[in-house]
Structure 1
């Protein structure tokens, strides 16, 4: 009876937590949806107002559709490049349709020529552009049978008008920036690395190396997914700063895309994976004389805890501005402690007085990884 009441309570607690997370996400994303909706409305009205006067029947639907496509591009740079590709593809399709109609007439042979040119022409990586050229050419070819050739220019002009309207609105009305998203992604990587280092330190201090070594290795390997996500966010942030009018008023934001911090954390991830792999291999080594001594593990646990705190504080605002002297002192203390410890271990190995001499290469691997990790953090912090 007790289990039957605990299980529903846990399910209800998880459901309530999920609902709170969803509500928070909706509140945080609502302003962005409102801005995008307002920009789309402005771009559509602008394109309609400009193109309606000279469009057949006063219905510039193609201009409005193109404006909506360009204004919803994720960055100003993408809206410009997509607009250029769209207009060039329609112009190429129109020229192809007129050429085939002039040479072969409006026949099945013209459609076959358009298909062959679309498949064989241009580089393979531009498949979408070639398909757009082919579809535009086929539509224009069909239109030549019932409409004057001059009227085929109208769709291209509507596309150009909609593209200009969409780009203008996207560039002038709160152009999108993704600096905050890139910062959050980089911080997530740092916090994951720091948490793993601290967990390894706690596990070593609690004598849980054998039980948790493979779990640590699995978590270290999954850090690559977080790195990939953060790298994509950084690329988007860098792209959002190109041709962005908001950067004129906030020029300092050009230097805040967290690319340098990401590169340091990528190197830290490699060191953490090396530490986790070495501990996992040693935990299940069948040679007893290769196992690490407990005195070494206790000291190494302390170092991993300090390293984890240093990684997490590395991306905090106080550490970035240099106003947090305490974090700097902790980092220097961890580095100095590791260097002294390294000298001590080297002397013990040289004298042959190490408790576990068969594990000297394991000591060296673990010491090298943590030294490199702290050295990278120290170098970045000094810069």
Structure 2
């Protein structure tokens, strides 16, 4: 027996949607790579032109390397912080090389001293910083023996200029924003949870509780993996807004709160998982008196379908220009109101003893509480 309803044309529509999504991702990836290519080239040319005239031998490789690290940072905020950390590590390594050259010279003992000091006395927060300090000191050790002052001043200035150029190019030439990726991640989560709720509702209405209960529980547990990936996208989007010059002309930078929406969906996922777990436990309960009544399941199925509509409408697409689209908001409000009416009706029937079996009262209570909390979370965040 088939366990689910397949709407006409659904597989074809799903395949077409997946193909469009893949095409959009590839197009967006190529566009992003092109932008980074242009920014990298600009930072390289500007740094070389600014540093080559006064660098030793006319070879400002250290400045260009620093600029490339800064301009290819994923966000403006990260480019600034990485440039600052790189500057500190370079200076620390050069000072260490100068001191070692004065005391031990460019000898094997000097190399050992640099490695020991960098590992034992270096910053504890990042292994990369300690490695960078040690590598910078070792490279500068030989040069510092011949020209102690020049070997310190020139690399420091090159690092400073390279970091400044890289940060400036990254901040002024199409600074990266990740709003679309975060938006897609949040809406994808809402769609998946809404689809699971609707599938549970359809399965209950078709008397497929025993057959599909554990499948629903597995899908609900699998949502946690999606949340981990989506959380990274949301955090990256929030970080990309910091110190970003495009926000002045980007309408969505001011009014989108991905963290709040993501937090609401995480709360909803707990209720979805609770519903799936309760249904799975009840489906395979050996006590007949503990099984849910079909009249309740029919009403609860409708509630789950309406809740699924509400979850999917919660993260509806935005209209052109960044302004909120009122249609999805209205559908969300309508779905919540209808689901709340079903909730009130079921509560009344349970209170009058119409639906309750003697041994299943705690199951009814658990399912009702999860739906009530789910709708309350959506209602609270949707109001803002």
TM-score by length of 2: 0.89
| SS of equivalent to 1:358 | coil
Shift of 1:105: 2.7
Shift of 1:15: 11
| SS of equivalent to 1:243 | coil
* 2:274 equivalent to 1:269: no
* 2:172 equivalent to 1:167: no
CA distance in 1 between counterparts of 2:367 and 2:62 reads 63
Shift of 1:82: 0.6
Specify the alignment match of 2:357 in structure 1.
356
Specify the alignment match of 1:293 in structure 2.
293
Distance 1:186 1:17, change over 3 A: closer
CA distance in 1 between counterparts of 2:298 and 2:345 reads 16
Specify the alignment match of 1:260 in structure 2.
260
Distance 1:159 1:250, change over 3 A: same
Q: Which moved more, 1:74-83 or 1:61-70?
A: 61-70
Q: Which moved more, 1:126-135 or 1:310-319?
A: 310-319
CA distance in 1 between counterparts of 2:379 and 2:16 reads 43
Matches within 5 A, 1:261-340: 261-317=261-317, 321-323=325-327, 324-340=329-345
CA distance in 2 between counterparts of 1:362 and 1:217 reads 16
Specify the alignment match of 1:141 in structure 2.
141
Shift of 1:296: 0.8
Specify the alignment match of 1:365 in structure 2.
366
Is the 8 Å Cα contact of residues 234 and 257 (structure 1) preserved in structure 2? no
| SS of equivalent to 2:125 | helix
| SS of equivalent to 2:54 | coil
Is the 8 Å Cα contact of residues 213 and 276 (structure 2) preserved in structure 1? yes
What CA deviation, in whole Å up to 9, does each residue of 1:42-62 have, x standing for no partner?
111100110011012222122
Distance 1:258 1:342, change over 3 A: same
Shift of 1:147: 4.5
Specify the alignment match of 2:221 in structure 1.
221
What CA deviation, in whole Å up to 9, does each residue of 1:132-168 have, x standing for no partner?
1111111111223445541343222212111111100
Aligned positions, number: 366
Shift of 1:27: 2.3
Is the 8 Å Cα contact of residues 183 and 257 (structure 1) preserved in structure 2? no
Matches within 5 A, 1:1-383: 23-147=23-147, 149-250=149-250, 253-317=253-317, 321-323=325-327, 324-348=329-353, 354=355, 356-383=357-384
Is the 8 Å Cα contact of residues 89 and 133 (structure 1) preserved in structure 2? yes
Distance 1:214 1:19, change over 3 A: closer
CA distance in 1 between counterparts of 2:263 and 2:296 reads 30
Distance 1:100 1:175, change over 3 A: same
RMSD after superposition: 2.3
| SS of equivalent to 1:182 | helix
| SS of equivalent to 2:106 | coil
| SS of equivalent to 1:124 | coil
Q: Which moved more, 1:115-124 or 1:301-310?
A: 115-124
Q: Which moved more, 1:249-258 or 1:216-225?
A: 249-258
Shift of 1:354: 4.4
CA distance in 2 between counterparts of 1:19 and 1:379 reads 35
What CA deviation, in whole Å up to 9, does each residue of 1:23-42 have, x standing for no partner?
54332322222211111111
Distance 1:317 1:25, change over 3 A: closer
Shift of 1:228: 1.2
| SS of equivalent to 1:144 | helix
Q: Which moved more, 1:89-98 or 1:113-122?
A: 113-122
Specify the alignment match of 2:6 in structure 1.
none
Shift of 1:321: 4.8
TM-score by length of 1: 0.90
| SS of equivalent to 2:352 | helix
Is the 8 Å Cα contact of residues 237 and 257 (structure 1) preserved in structure 2? no
Q: Which moved more, 1:125-134 or 1:103-112?
A: 103-112
CA distance in 1 between counterparts of 2:22 and 2:187 reads 21
CA distance in 2 between counterparts of 1:35 and 1:106 reads 43
